[in-house]
């Protein structure tokens, strides 16, 4: 029963969109840092550094819709290898078609993700230069909002 309550609280926090607005990431600061990194083909990694019990996250990205075409989101290696079960939220498209809100929440009794690595993969067509992170919300396995920074 307690786990379902914690998971419900996580989902509510994600939906409420409680966000810490910090424009630049510094992986040495002790805060969770999220970055977008283009990789081969039409894929962009959503990477994390300094994760500590990361159990849920939501990312809002924006882009120039004439240059960038969204094709999908996949779980990254950290989510696939975790002992928790991560489920996708979204994607939800912005009002004008130039943004996407997506994320993952998890269930389970184990700690969330610790360390560095790939959280998700964004599949796209076109030019990714206009893709930027606008907001991030992240919580730990007890539902506490984590201090998160980002860049790109």
Domain range summary for the chain, segments of one domain joined by +: 2-18+33-151
What is the tens place of the pLDDT at every residue in 125-135? 988 888 999 99
Give the separation between CA 95 and CA 51, rounded to whole angstroms: 31
Architecture of domain 2-18+33-151: Sandwich (2.60)
- pTM: predicted TM-score of the whole model, two decimal places: 0.76
What is the tens place of the pLDDT at every residue in 76-106? 999 999 999 999 999 998 877 789 999 999 9
Give the separation between CA 94 and CA 99, rounded to whole angstroms: 5
Measured CA distances, 144 to 77, 93, 94, 98, 134 (Å): 24, 26, 27, 30, 21
Mean pLDDT, the chain, whole residue set: 81
- Per DSSP, the three-state class of 77 is helix
């Amino acid at each position: 029963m307690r786990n379902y309550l914690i998971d419900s609280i996580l989902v509510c926090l994600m939906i409420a969109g409680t966000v810490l607005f910090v424009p630049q990431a510094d992986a040495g600061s002790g805060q969770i840092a999220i970055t977008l990194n283009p990789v081969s083909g039409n894929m962009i990694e959503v990477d994390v550094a300094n994760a500590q019990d990361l159990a849920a996250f939501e990312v809002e990205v924006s882009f120039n819709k004439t240059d960038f075409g969204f094709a999908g989101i996949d779980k990254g290696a950290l989510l696939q290898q975790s002992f928790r079960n991560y489920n996708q939220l979204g994607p939800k498209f912005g009002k004008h078609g130039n943004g996407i809100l997506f994320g993952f929440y998890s269930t389970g009794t184990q700690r969330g993700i610790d360390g560095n690595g790939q959280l998700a993969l964004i599949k796209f067509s076109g030019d990714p230069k206009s893709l930027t992170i606008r907001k991030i919300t992240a919580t730990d396995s007890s539902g506490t909002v984590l201090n998160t920074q980002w860049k790109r």
